[in-house]
Structure 1
Amino acid sequence: MNATETAVTSTEPQAGGVILHPARGKVIAITSGKGGVGKTFLSANLAAALTRRGLRVLVLDADLGLANLDVVLNLYPKLTLHDVFTGKCTLQEAIVAAPGGFSVLLAGSGMVEYSRLTPEVRDEFLRLMAEVVPRYDVVLLDTGAGISDVVLFALSLASEVLLVATPEPTSLTDAYATIKVLATQQQRDRIRLVVNQAARPGDGRVITQQLQTVLNRFVSPGQGAGVRLLHMGDIPVDPAVKEAVMRRQLLLVHTPGCPAALAVGQIAGRLVDTVLRAHTQA
């Protein structure tokens, strides 16, 4: 169990006869090797899909300095993570309700002081996580893209990493680089992969197999076995996504029955089954 997690048992039945017994505060980082692949879009809509399954969800904008979760959710926060770090407000005052029923802790944008991992930023973030994680069933960290020290530190706080990539060669090259760093520096032996903007059914599985082949040949975390990629699903190319983003609305609210929204719901279901350890009751 990750150091930031606190175990708890939930016995409240959820829709469909499912009873969830997650570790309180399971931390899942959503990241990407390359920007512009839909990472924040997935973070927000995945939070909405998990909330619909009866989980208490917090999305923490860990893209310090270049935050845009507020734009995706059409929120205009008066208080941000920066205000918490500087003591201008309490953590509870900075957490706000988002469309979709989940909670968010937004970061400020254009904050140069968060462009690198200083001891002060590290300590404040650790204090924040220790306080916020026990309050939720799942905490989604919407990290920045790439392998900067700030991004890698945020990823180190998560028990699971969900990597978002598109079929474009540049995205896949950067995804490989990210996986390699996580395997060698953090000794990650598994990474969960979502392929966004998939043109055809099955694209994601093919891409996962191709990346796995390269990883098997060149990357090994520490002295253990090779890192394993787990394909969590594809999000198809869907014009409803662009329309929802332009309207600054959640896709699951704007067009809940479109192919991309249904795909996000399926990914949420797989996370519940494989990470949050859902159990069914006859």
Structure 2
Amino acid sequence: MTQSINSAGVEKGRVVKMRGLDKKTPDQADGLRRMVKDKMNGLQEEIVEKPGVAAQGFPRVVAVTSGKGGVGKTNIVGNLAIALSRMGKRVLILDGDLGLANIDIIYGLHPEFTIKHVLTGEKDLKDVIVKGPEGVSVIPASSGLADLVHLTQGEKLNLLSEFDGLEEDYDIFLIDTGAGISSNIVYFNAAARERIVIATPEPTSITDAYALMKVMFTRHGTRTFKLLVNMVNNEAEADLVFKSLSNALLRFLQDISLEYMGCIKRDDHVLKSVKKQAPLLMLYPKSLAGKGINELAERFLSKGEDSSADGNIKFFFRRLVAPK
């Protein structure tokens, strides 16, 4: 199976930060629109001119996603971040489920501000980021936030400017996407450098995971995915899920590469930790699921970043808000 083409060489300069676009004169507004267009065009030129070059010294940008809900995705993101933080990595989570702020619940957080306040220019990003357990940083979601693809030009400029300075502050950037194939979820996955798809042994979960990868491939040409199988009774059950998806991809979508990241076993301690609104690794670090999370973190770091993956934090957000 082939790998996706990489794009590196992303512009390292800062984007001019502008607010209150609606209050500008027509000439100023036209100038700002041209600025956004020029930035986006410049980015596309770099993508074409520098394929296959891995970005160095940038955080790993990883979308954790699923074809259907109820597979434990958010719990995995929250605990994986803690495991990585304990291994010395600086981790930032973007709660990408714009309808439900689930990371807040997992961590027991009550943020006053969300990414919506950054988009509108009311707050700087540093005012929105909150500290979770074990030093993990979180960008809270905004319930009911309009589709990111519908941002105004002013909101796009604000967002790009705010995220320009994050490369030096974090080693790993995890995006907890929603479940399914809605436009926001697809764009989060397309813009990320790596994608971890969560599936369970349930037939509907396997079918929906395949559908998600198919949509990503057909709409955006995304070819590389990592698979984590959750809520399994044993490793043999997880192997069957991986083989089932691999066979389907080999038969219908041969250009996709699917990497197996292991499994997390079914564990009652997960539900107990959710009810207590505290991370599993903090309450039950020696549980079966806790062991699986730690093994996932070790495997994730040991395998390193896919050299054919593309993007970094700046590239992620430029790609996310670029005109579709």
Which residue pairs with 1:14 in the alignment?
none
What CA distance in whole angstroms lies between the structure 1 residues aligned with 2:94 and 2:82? 14
Q: What is the CA deviation profile of residues 202-224 of structure 1, one whole-angstrom value per residue up to 9, with x for unaligned ones?
A: 2222211111111111114xxxx
Which residue pairs with 2:92 in the alignment?
58
CA drift of 1:127 comes to 4.8
Distance 1:112 1:80, change over 3 A: closer
Distance 1:81 1:250, change over 3 A: same
Q: What is the CA deviation profile of residues 163-207 of structure 1, one whole-angstrom value per residue up to 9, with x for unaligned ones?
A: 011111111111010011122222222210111100122222221
In structure 2, the residue corresponding to 1:202 is in which secondary structure? helix
- Specify which of 165, 178, 182 is matched with residue 199 of structure 2: 165
Q: Report 1:193-232 matches (<5 A).
A: 193-220=227-254, 226-232=255-261
Conservation of the 8 A alpha-carbon contact between 2:111 and 2:140: yes
Which residue pairs with 2:139 in the alignment?
105
In structure 1, the residue corresponding to 2:260 is in which secondary structure? strand
What CA distance in whole angstroms lies between the structure 2 residues aligned with 1:237 and 1:4? 42
In structure 2, the residue corresponding to 1:264 is in which secondary structure? helix
Distance 1:127 1:274, change over 3 A: farther
What CA distance in whole angstroms lies between the structure 2 residues aligned with 1:6 and 1:178? 30
State the TM-score, normalizing by the size of structure 2.
Answer: 0.74
> More helix by proportion, 1 or 2?
2
Residue identity matched to 2:194: E
Judge which range, 186-195 or 142-151, deviates more.
186-195
Residue identity matched to 2:246: Q
What CA distance in whole angstroms lies between the structure 1 residues aligned with 2:164 and 2:8? 9
Conservation of the 8 A alpha-carbon contact between 1:61 and 1:107: yes
Conservation of the 8 A alpha-carbon contact between 2:67 and 2:180: yes
Identity %: 37
CA drift of 1:63 comes to 1.3
CA drift of 1:113 comes to 2.2
Which residue pairs with 1:236 in the alignment?
265
Residue 259 (str. 1) matches residue 291 (str. 2): no
Query: Number of paired residues?
Result: 257
CA drift of 1:274 comes to 1.3
> More strand by proportion, 1 or 2?
1
CA drift of 1:4 comes to 9.5
Conservation of the 8 A alpha-carbon contact between 1:5 and 1:23: no
Structure 2: state its 5+ residue gaps.
1-5, 13-55, 307-324
Judge which range, 155-164 or 198-207, deviates more.
198-207
Runs of 4 or more above 4 Å deviation: 1-7, 124-129
CA drift of 1:69 comes to 1.1
Distance 1:35 1:4, change over 3 A: farther
Judge which range, 197-206 or 207-216, deviates more.
197-206
Structure 1: state its 5+ residue gaps.
8-21, 221-225, 278-282
Conservation of the 8 A alpha-carbon contact between 2:124 and 2:162: no
What CA distance in whole angstroms lies between the structure 1 residues aligned with 2:161 and 2:247? 39
